[in-house]
């Protein structure tokens, strides 16, 4: 009995001795308030974040880009015009042809904007990058020339290319696309000119790197040209076999858009061209 | 039973000790503030330090193992704006951009919109494609140093920067100070009328040593000759970058000789050089009429059996290299102007020189020069004889012996500046520079230079036919 009393006493001591009152929970020391938004921030919030859940990173952070590259932030005055290209000639055509929710449902979650070119030591220039279908980085937005449709088409082409990857990750292309002409795919694609690649049945030199890039390069080329311009490009190929191969790939792309998403790519092509043309000063 | 009671007592006392010890209230914390409070305080501290000063003088060496450094004056305001000017180019006004002080894993100063500091990471800089000067725009704040200076680290290159506080009078005068630093740069760079040779000299404890600075003006980087064990001077130190200031120049890392380190050099107007003095010892960086050290490259160049005794210069098809000096370009332009006024009107096209002593055309050495008629593009050849190349103290000597063809005789007087170049009375200094490269082409052929010691502003970059 005495032992039990002792144990009870000990237990009480254990419980009560550590029962000192803890400090009351204090408010968070993290600043979670909404920062002051500039006019540019408000524009991004209204046009990209709210409707499409797309973040735009324009304030420079070296950690957002490859560590081995030497890049510079965009000028603030370059940001809105570059974003307007995306709104007008990428989002609006898809919304018009495929429905207002199309981009809302399938889209990259972030755009990072870089002012400078991304020049490689070899002298080639990287125009854009995509990471896992979630983030697209656009380079040299400080150098866009709004009097030149080709210059306006440059970031568009990057986005159409990277968006092609995202679409492909959502609804894969027919696997037989890979078998159309795999013979000349090469990691050394940069040793070819676009014209040389076309004579081998690839729409650009980069398209001859592998079948995935081949597929999205076709999309990018089709959606940044009119149908007549694209036809002229293909008809300019001397090798009839190469010409036929690219026409076959074009059929695959058109079928893919129609069957996977109910989109007539030629209608999308026409609207995209009208919109991008409207951006030329 | 007694033993059992004793055991219970011992257990009781032990348990009580544990209870008391385990509930000890540890109020002694390492920091007075929480991590979040400390981060916020650190960020606020740097913001206050940046905004409290009228401005800063900053010397930034992005990577002193490959490039020199640059001078900046900066002024920060409370709205997140920074004004800065630098000597990286000829921009002669302050640029305004934005900055942020961030607290992530450390407190960082980030230049978030473009300004002159970003020109150091311009990957389209001619001659530095893809990298620029490998500069950055994120800097980790380390400490407040001597003279209330702010010490930062360049996180990606592991370099360091010191922000030295300056008064409003200095900021008001910064445009002139930057101009003065550019002027100091031009005093070391070769020009149309000044020597291509720069030297580094030491006078330490009565011992003297001289090195060819081997200075690359684009990179602002020196790779001195004579730093090997074979050096006749016995000294050794690493390559270094140079930053030009309004007073002179700063080298990084510091150069040393005889255990004495030299870092800051002041321009000496009387001597026309940059001088650093430490305890009566001096180091001097400046122009020279001849190299501080001449390599043995001439042996390979003149070797008739497997060497490079034949070389060419074709600026229109092979492009430009910065090693061809503005002084040589001026010579070329002079000859062009002379030929343009010659009957028929001509221009220089290119040349090749043969020092292989093949007795071709009766010459021991000869200059084969091509010139173009302006009216119809017709190209003509002219041969000029020189004596066999001889060497004295590693310097090549040849004498001009006359025109070897009718065409040569016709243009001889007009191309005399070029003939005098090869017949330099004080000789020619020759080098090997590795494979040929220019703004137009890259060839595996060996390349090199010839510099006239009669007029050391004249240096030509050539391709060796091997």
Among the candidates B288, B310, B333, a domain finishes at B288
Q: Are residues B94 and B154 in the same domain?
A: yes
Residue B266 in domain: yes
Find the domain containing A69 and state its range: 39-278
Q: Are residues B161 and B67 in the same domain?
A: yes
At residue A2 the predicted structure's pLDDT band, cuts being 50, 70 and 90, is low
Q: Are residues B231 and B108 in the same domain?
A: no
Q: Are residues B195 and B161 in the same domain?
A: no
Residue A174 in domain: yes
Q: Are residues B389 and B323 in the same domain?
A: yes
Tally Cβ neighbours within 10 Å of residue A64: 14
Domain count, chain B: 3
Contact B124 A116 (CB under 8 A): yes
**Residue given tokens 């230049």 in the structure block:** B111
Contact B36 A29 (CB under 8 A): yes
Q: pLDDT by residue (tens digit) across A239-274?
A: 999 999 999 999 999 999 999 999 999 999 999 999
- Nearest beta carbon to residue A71 from set B23, B25, B121: B121
Q: In this model, does residue A230 exceed pLDDT 80? A: yes
Q: d(Cα B119, Cα A13) in Å, to the nearest integer? A: 70
Q: d(Cα A230, Cα A153) in Å, to the nearest integer? A: 14
CA distance B112 to chain A (A): 5
Q: Does B132 touch chain A (CB under 8 A)?
A: yes
pLDDT at B359: 60
Residue A204 in domain: yes
Among the candidates B257, B288, B319, a domain finishes at B288
Q: Are residues B271 and B381 in the same domain?
A: no
* CATH, residue B104: 2.40.128
Residue B208 in domain: yes
Q: Are residues B365 and B319 in the same domain?
A: yes
Q: A211-223 vs A227-235: helix axis angle to the nearest 10?
A: 130
Residue A10 in domain: no
pLDDT at B233: 45
Find the domain containing B104 and state its range: 35-166
Q: Does B62 touch chain A (CB under 8 A)?
A: no
**pLDDT of chain B, 466 residues: tens digit per residue:** 555 666 666 766 766 665 555 555 555 667 777 777 788 888 999 999 999 999 999 999 999 999 999 999 999 999 999 999 999 999 999 999 999 999 878 899 999 999 999 999 999 888 888 999 999 999 999 999 999 999 999 877 777 899 999 999 999 999 999 999 999 999 998 888 889 999 999 999 888 888 888 899 999 999 887 644 444 444 445 799 999 999 999 999 999 888 899 999 999 999 999 999 999 999 999 999 988 788 889 999 998 788 889 999 999 999 999 899 999 999 999 999 999 998 889 999 999 999 987 665 578 899 999 999 999 999 999 999 999 999 999 999 999 999 999 999 999 999 999 999 999 999 999 999 999 998 888 899 999 999 999 999 999 999 999 7
Q: Are residues B317 and B249 in the same domain?
A: no
Output the CA torsion A228→A234→A236→A241 (10° steps): -150
Residue A33 in domain: no
Domain count, chain A: 1
Residue B190 in domain: yes
pLDDT at B344: 82
Among the candidates B240, B256, B288, a domain finishes at B288
* pTM recorded for the entire structure: 0.80
At residue A9 the predicted structure's pLDDT band, cuts being 50, 70 and 90, is low
* CATH, residue A163: 3.40.390.70
Residues of chain A positioned with their CB less than 8 A from the CB of B122? 70, 72, 116
Q: Are residues B323 and B433 in the same domain?
A: yes
Q: Does B38 touch chain A (CB under 8 A)?
A: no
How large is the average pLDDT for residues A132-143? Answer: 89
Residue B25 in domain: no
Q: Are residues B43 and B96 in the same domain?
A: yes
Q: Are residues B439 and B319 in the same domain?
A: yes
Residue A34 in domain: no
Q: d(Cα A270, Cα A248) in Å, to the nearest integer? A: 21
Q: Are residues B459 and B404 in the same domain?
A: yes
Residue B109 in domain: yes
Task: Dump the DSSP string for B364-400.
Answer: SEEEEEEEEETTT--EEEEEEEEPPPEEETTEEE--E
Residue A8 in domain: no
């Amino acid at each position: 009995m005495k032992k039990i009393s002792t144990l009870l006493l000990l237990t009480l001591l254990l419980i009560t001795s550590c029962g000192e009152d803890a400090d009351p929970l204090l408010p968070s020391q993290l600043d979670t308030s909404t920062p002051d938004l500039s006019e540019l921030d408000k524009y991004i919030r209204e046009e990209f974040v709210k409707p499409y859940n797309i973040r735009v990173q324009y304030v420079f952070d070296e950690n957002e880009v490859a560590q081995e590259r030497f890049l510079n932030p965009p000028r603030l005055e370059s940001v809105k015009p570059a974003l307007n290209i995306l709104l007008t000639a990428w989002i609006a055509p898809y919304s018009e042809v495929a429905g207002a929710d199309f981009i809302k449902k399938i889209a990259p979650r972030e755009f990072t904007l870089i002012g400078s070119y991304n020049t490689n030591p070899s002298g080639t220039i990287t125009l854009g990058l995509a990471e896992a279908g979630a983030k697209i980085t656009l380079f040299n937005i400080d150098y866009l020339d709004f009097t030149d449709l080709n210059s306006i088409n440059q970031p568009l082409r990057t986005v159409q290319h990277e968006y092609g990857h995202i679409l492909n990750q959502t609804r894969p292309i027919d696997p037989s696309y890979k078998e159309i002409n795999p013979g000349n795919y090469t990691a050394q694609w940069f040793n070819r000119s676009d014209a040389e690649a076309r004579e081998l049945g690839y729409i650009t030199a980069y398209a001859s790197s592998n079948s995935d890039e081949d597929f999205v390069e076709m999309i990018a080329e089709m959606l940044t040209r009119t149908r007549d311009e694209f036809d002229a490009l293909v008809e300019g190929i001397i090798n009839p076999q190469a010409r036929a191969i690219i026409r076959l790939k074009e059929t695959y792309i058109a079928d893919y858009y129609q069957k996977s998403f109910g989109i007539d790519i030629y209608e999308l092509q026409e609207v995209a061209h009208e919109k991008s043309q409207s951006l030329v000063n | 039973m007694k033993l059992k009671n004793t055991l219970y007592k011992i257990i009781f006392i032990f348990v009580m000790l544990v209870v008391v010890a385990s509930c000890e209230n540890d109020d002694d914390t390492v920091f007075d503030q929480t991590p979040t409070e400390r981060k916020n305080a650190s960020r606020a501290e740097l913001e206050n330090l940046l905004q409290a000063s009228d401005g800063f003088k900053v010397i930034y060496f992005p990577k002193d193992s490959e490039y020199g450094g640059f001078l900046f004056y900066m002024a920060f305001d409370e709205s997140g704006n920074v004004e800065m000017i630098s000597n990286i180019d000829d921009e002669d006004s302050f640029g305004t951009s934005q900055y942020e002080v961030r607290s992530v894993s450390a407190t960082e100063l980030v230049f978030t919109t473009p300004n002159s500091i970003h020109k150091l990471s311009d990957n389209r800089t001619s001659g530095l494609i893809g990298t620029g000067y490998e500069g950055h725009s994120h800097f980790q704040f380390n400490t407040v140093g001597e003279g209330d200076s702010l010490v930062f680290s360049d996180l990606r290159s592991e370099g360091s920067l010191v922000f030295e506080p300056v008064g409003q009078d200095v900021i008001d005068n910064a445009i002139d100070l930057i101009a003065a630093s550019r002027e100091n740069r031009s005093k070391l760079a070769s020009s149309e009328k000044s020597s291509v040779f720069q030297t580094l000299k030491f006078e330490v404890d009565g011992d003297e040593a001289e090195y060819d600075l081997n200075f690359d003006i684009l990179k602002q980087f020196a790779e001195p000759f004579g730093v090997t064990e074979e050096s006749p001077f016995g000294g050794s130190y690493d390559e270094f970058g140079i930053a030009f200031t309004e007073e002179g120049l700063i080298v990084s890392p510091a150069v040393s000789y005889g255990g004495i380190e030299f870092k800051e050099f002041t321009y000496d107007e009387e001597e026309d050089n940059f001088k650093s003095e430490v305890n009566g010892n001096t180091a001097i960086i400046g122009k020279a009429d001849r190299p501080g050290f001449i390599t043995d490259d001439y042996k390979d160049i003149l070797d008739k059996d497997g060497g490079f005794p034949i070389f060419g210069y074709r600026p229109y098809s092979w492009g430009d290299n910065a090693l061809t000096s503005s002084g040589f370009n001026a010579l070329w332009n002079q000859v062009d102007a002379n030929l343009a006024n010659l009957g028929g009107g001509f221009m220089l096209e290119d040349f090749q020189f043969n020092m292989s002593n093949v007795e071709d055309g009766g010459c021991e050495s000869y200059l084969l020069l091509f010139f173009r008629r302006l009216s119809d593009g017709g190209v003509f050849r002219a041969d000029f004889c020189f004596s066999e190349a001889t060497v004295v103290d590693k310097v090549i000597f040849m004498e001009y012996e006359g025109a070897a063809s009718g065409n040569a005789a016709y243009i001889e007087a007009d191309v005399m500046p070029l003939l005098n170049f090869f017949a330099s009375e004080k000789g020619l200094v020759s080098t090997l520079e590795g494979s040929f490269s220019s703004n137009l082409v890259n060839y595996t052929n060996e390349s090199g230079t010839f510099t006239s010691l009669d007029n050391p502003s004249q240096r030509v970059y050539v391709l060796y036919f091997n």
